[in-house]
Amino acid sequence: MSLLVVGSVAYDGIETPFGSIDRILGGSATYISITSSYFTESINLVGVVGKDFRDEEIEFLKSRNIDLTGLQIDKSGDTFFWKGKYHFDLNNRDTLDTQLNVFEHFDPIIPEDYKNARYVALGNIEPGLQSKVLEQIDNPDFVVMDTMNFWIEGALESLKKTLKRVNMLVINDSEARELADEPNLMKAAEIVLGMGPEALIIKKGEHGALLFTQDGIFSAPAYPVVDIFDPTGAGDSFLGGLLGWLAYTDDRSAENMRRAVIFGSVMASFCVEKFGPDRFKTLTEKEVFERYRAFISLSQIPELG
């Protein structure tokens, strides 16, 4: 089924304990589109880049069968730039530089051909813009949104309005606690589900992810990556793998939602193996499905004899 992805397209500067890179393709819409492209073919990206955006990025995205009709090229300035430095344990990072550039006035205009999208990914952008995207789309089957502490703290009412219109929210554990104003994660999940979405995923980084729905809780492990190289984009890769699988199968049963969470975890586990989205330049479909099976081996609990 067709998948619409709206979010940032960016350049990132990244410092990790293992090296640094001045400028590499980044942004939520970028990672979501690339990772979902392993599962579904009709991916429409809506975002904005500036005059500095290189042809090689366009070529890479097109090579993943991503339709770029909705990618605005704003010649009045440069592409959104973010620079961050990861701590030794890779679980924390400091933002060193943020240049919004053309992204500051991003107005997500959905091309006519995209308005019948059945699956929609709302990357982490201002919640009012996320709502504006939904207003332009004809009754989609499944909408997933991401957000962050910045919007929870600065645009809570707008965020709550958007939450009522989406099917699934994907956030990390500290964001869930903050959004619910509740330290206990299980209680926080219940409170967030009460805000509207029928499904909630709480990402816990190296500890895996939890899916909360009316069917109960699913606890997904994290893949034990020995050499985590760069965590940038892991959360968006999770969302892309998840939604790509759902759009491909068009099956939102409880069982298939679990598969989607695992494919999200699979894509996140590959993402961290190289700088930025570099791992996806060589990753094959075969490796993706092999890692799915590795997740089963990793966590399968035997029945009692």
Cβ neighbours around 88 below 10 Å, total: 8
Site string for its own copies, 215-254 (x = CB under 8 A): -xxxxxxx-xxx-x--------------------------
Give the C-alpha separation, 151 to 217, whole Å: 26
Least distance CB 256 / its own copies (angstroms): 8
- CB nearer its own copies, residue 194 or residue 302: 302
- What are the Cα distances from residue 152, in Å, to 134, 160, 180, 181, 236? 19, 9, 10, 10, 18
- CB nearer its own copies, residue 158 or residue 249: 249
Hey, which residues does 143 pair with through a beta bridge? 120
Least distance CB 299 / its own copies (angstroms): 5
Among 56, 181, 255, 285, binds its own copies (CB under 8 A): 255
- Tally the C-alpha atoms within 13 A of residue 247's C-alpha that lie toward its C-beta: 32
In the chain, the amino acid numbered 289 is F
Least distance CB 269 / its own copies (angstroms): 12
Least distance CB 4 / its own copies (angstroms): 25
298 touching its own copies, by CB under 8 A: yes
Least distance CB 160 / its own copies (angstroms): 24
Hey, which residues does 19 pair with through a beta bridge? 16
CB 86 within 8 A of CB 93: yes
- Judged by CB under 8 A, the chain residues 70 through 99 that form the site for its own copies are 88-89
- CB nearer its own copies, residue 158 or residue 256: 256
Among 204, 273, 274, 278, binds its own copies (CB under 8 A): 204
Among 187, 250, 282, 290, binds its own copies (CB under 8 A): 187
- CB nearer its own copies, residue 193 or residue 225: 225
List the structure tokens of 174.
């500290």
Give the C-alpha separation, 24 to 81, whole Å: 10
Hey, which residues does 163 pair with through a beta bridge? none
Least distance CB 294 / its own copies (angstroms): 9
Angle between helix 254-271 and 234-249 (nearest 10): 140
- CB nearer its own copies, residue 110 or residue 261: 261
214 touching its own copies, by CB under 8 A: no
Tell me how many residues contact its own copies (CB under 8 A): 40
Of the ranges 22-30, 37-45, 120-128, 182-190, which one interacts with its own copies (CB under 8 A)?
A: 182-190
List, in order, residues 6 or more apart from 162 with CB less than 8 Å away.
Answer: 122, 127, 128, 130, 131, 134, 145
Give the C-alpha separation, 30 to 77, whole Å: 19
Among 206, 273, 278, 287, binds its own copies (CB under 8 A): 206
Question: In terms of C-beta density within 10 A (0-12 exposed, 13-18 middle, 19 or more buried), how is residue 302 classed?
Answer: exposed
Give the C-alpha separation, 268 to 262, whole Å: 10
What are the two backbone dihedrals, phi and then psi, of residue 179, each rounded to the nearest 5 degrees?
-65, -40
208 touching its own copies, by CB under 8 A: yes
Q: Could you list the residues that contact its own copies (CB under 8 A)? A: 88-89, 183-187, 204, 206-208, 210, 216-222, 224-226, 228, 255-256, 258-259, 262, 289, 292, 295-304
